[in-house]
Amino acid sequence: MTARRMTADSPTPIPRALEGERPVGHDGSRASVRSLSVLISTHNRIDLLMRALRYLNEAQRPPQWTIDVLVVANACSDGTHAFLESRASGDCASKSVSGLPSLPLRWIAEPEIGKSHALNRAIPEIASELVAFVDDDHRVDSSYLQAVCEAATAYPDAEILCGRILPDWDGSEPDWVHDMDMYRIYPLPVPRYDLGDAPMASPEDTAIPGGGNLIVRTHLFQHVGGFSTDFGPKGHNLAGGEDQEWVRRALALGARAHYVPQIVQYHYVDPDRLKLAYLVRKAYERSASVARMSDAPLRSSFVPRFLFRKVVQHSLLAATSLSQRRRRFHLVRTAASLGEIKGHLQGRADLKSRLKRPQP
């Protein structure tokens, strides 16, 4: 399935379902039963994958829904293949703490490194009405599956549902991760998406949802296509943006999104993510991804001067700060400003590449 950036001559808008129609499956047929697939892409993190599956199997299950799990092993070289084969065949299947049998599991391998490649490999394999994206370093809330299915029923006009992603803090984290003043670190070292306690239509007006807790009606892939391989992590690097780029394309075609706070996932807190080196690398890479997919490169062929001023200002403040807290903040902002410059240059290169492509 080919993924591409949104252009002015994009496909026709997504058609709306008629009132009273049954849900549409990925193959275009009307579903006779409600169905949900949980999709996980993983790369050499078997321990975290086992943890993610354990919490999925322990989650409450709604009646009148069929639920299965599809795992894509992306260029894995550890024991992931053997574990998944054993789990899929039932050799290591067991009842969860809640007493429920393990959810049916299928797995496929995608040898080309890159999360977007893995997700695109999985899309044709999904025949359910809904697909829920769960990262391999997440644990779902005990009511996650039930909340997803209830939201799909409560908001039938929404093709995209999103929920909360909360850091899985355990109290051992440093105090600065909870700072909310002018020296707070952003982006956080552990992803967070939380728009409050009330459901919200058009959450993209506040913040574009990411793929860590995204639920999509699978017929949407017919209109939007797959994930852009220009974006997203390759292995465990800190690149991102494949999920937000896809959501932006879907919204531009007329898809509707809805935020449902009851749909909750918790992101694993890796202690290494709380170190300064990680904060700097993440700020650089994620800021580059955001700037690359923005419209700023379209408005100017030159890198805006204010970005260079930000680099100089934050660098000087970092060098002269006596407070460790302030120094950390300005170092992270320096990296983020450098990332914006990188993203602007990448966006310009993307534009030139698209202009050179032959028109269909």
**Which residue carries 């391999």 as its tokens?**
136
Q: How many angstroms separate the CA atoms of 298 and 288, rounded?
A: 15
Q: How many angstroms separate the CA atoms of 184 and 188, rounded?
A: 9
What pLDDT is recorded for position 42? 96
Segment 283-288 shows an average pLDDT of: 90
Segment 343-348 shows an average pLDDT of: 87
**Res 3 pLDDT > 50:** no
What pLDDT is recorded for position 242? 86
What pLDDT is recorded for position 348? 84
What pLDDT is recorded for position 33? 77
- In the predicted model, what is the mean pLDDT of the chain? 87
Phi, psi (deg, nearest 5) at residue 356? -85, -15
Nearest Cα to Cα of residue 336 among 298, 302, 300, 288 = 288
Q: How many angstroms separate the CA atoms of 275 and 17, rounded?
A: 48
The domain made up of 34-170+190-269 is a member of CATH 3.40.50.300: no
Which pTM value belongs to this model?
A: 0.83
Residues 244-282: pLDDT tens digits? 889 999 999 999 999 999 999 999 999 988 999 999 998
Nearest Cα to Cα of residue 157 among 223, 126, 201 = 201
**End-to-end Cα separation, the chain, in angstroms:** 17
**Res 113 pLDDT > 50:** yes
pLDDT category, 236, cuts 50, 70, 90? low
Looking at 228-267, list the stretches that DSSP marks H as alpha helix, in order from N- to C-terminal side.
242-252
Segment 37-54 shows an average pLDDT of: 96
pLDDT category, 211, cuts 50, 70, 90? confident
Domain boundaries, the chain: 34-170+190-269, 277-353
CB 264 within 8 A of CB 144: yes
User: Nearest 5°: CA angle at 243, between 238 and 247?
Assistant: 150
The separation between CA 114 and the C-alpha centre of its own chain, rounded to angstroms, equals 13
- CB atoms under 10 Å from CB of 182, counted, come to 7
Residues 301-341: pLDDT tens digits? 788 899 999 999 999 999 999 999 999 999 999 999 999 99
pLDDT category, 10, cuts 50, 70, 90? very low
**Which residue carries 């009330």 as its tokens?**
198
What pLDDT is recorded for position 126? 96
Segment 93-100 shows an average pLDDT of: 62
Residues 19-29: pLDDT tens digits? 334 455 545 55
pLDDT category, 101, cuts 50, 70, 90? confident
